[in-house]
Amino acid sequence: MESKSSTNLVDQFVCPGDVVLDLSSMANQTIKLGGGLKQDCDVISVMKAGRLRFAKPNKYWVENSQKRYVPHAEDSVLGIVVDSRSDNFLVDIKGPTLAFLPVLAFEGGTRRNIPRFEIGTLLYARVVKAIPGMNPELACTDASGKAAEFGALKGGYMFECTSGLSRMLLSSPTCPVLDALGKKVSFEIAVGLNGRVWVNAASPPTTIIVVNAITNSETLSAAQQRIMVEKLLQRIQ
């Protein structure tokens, strides 16, 4: 039986043992492997179930819905302040180790205007460095040094979900559940790739509806997500 090539396996569901690349037919190409894949002689095979993803020019990885978060540079995450030190805050981002957030890693950060965060403060931050075996480093700015949407999140409700649901919520174009909700109710949302989501609406019932819609949406098709949102919204009309 002829095996599938990597090109028609990209974005498909793969299982442990599946061969996704045959290096013997890819002379002079450098391939980068992300999580979920391993090299065995001339073949690249799958180590964990999920969807095979590809990023130009040559990176492959397996994306799956997992509860443990592995930090990567430029990820947006929701972190909880667990300690404060003279040079940085220690932040829980659901990774293998706590992350460091330098006290100067804010827009216009100087020693004179160091922010004060209580333990338990929820922050929306960007992963700046993620080196295996070392504590990740965060910043509350975008790559240009602007605060953008990053910083402390006040009020609202935070819940945890799988990494797969986080990625769906951050997908472009807007995923159906957020599109359907946004047409009927007003709310703020911050989604972390570490499987945390923060929602803030004008009233607790609206917040609960939005949270329920999001948590129900992971296994539904686009049409099912829209129908589910309509049914939930009928409760507050």
| 75-152 is a CATH 3.30.160.60 domain | no
Rounded to whole angstroms, the Cα distance separating 150 from 133 reads 26
- Check if the beta carbon of residue 201 is closer than 8 Å to that of residue 185: yes
Q: 2.40.50, 3.30.70, 1.20.120, 3.90.550: which CATH number matches 12-63?
A: 2.40.50
Q: pTM value?
A: 0.72
Does the pLDDT value for residue 126 go beyond 50? yes
The per-residue pLDDT for 121 is: 96
When pLDDT is cut at 50, 70 and 90, the band that residue 185 belongs to is very high
- Check if the beta carbon of residue 182 is closer than 8 Å to that of residue 174: yes
The per-residue pLDDT for 173 is: 85
DSSP 110: -
Q: Which of 103-107, 178-182, 232-236 has the lowest mean pLDDT?
A: 232-236
Q: Is the dihedral of CA 208, 64, 67, 121 positive or negative?
A: negative
Q: 3.30.1370.10, 3.40.1190.10, 3.30.70.100, 3.10.20.30: which CATH number matches 157-234?
A: 3.30.1370.10
User: What is the residue type of 100?
Assistant: F
Q: For the chain, what are the domain ranges? A: 12-63, 75-152, 157-234
When pLDDT is cut at 50, 70 and 90, the band that residue 66 belongs to is low
- Which pLDDT tens digit goes with each residue over 200-227? 999 999 999 999 999 999 888 899 999 9
- Check if the beta carbon of residue 96 is closer than 8 Å to that of residue 133: no
Rounded to whole angstroms, the Cα distance separating 36 from 164 reads 14
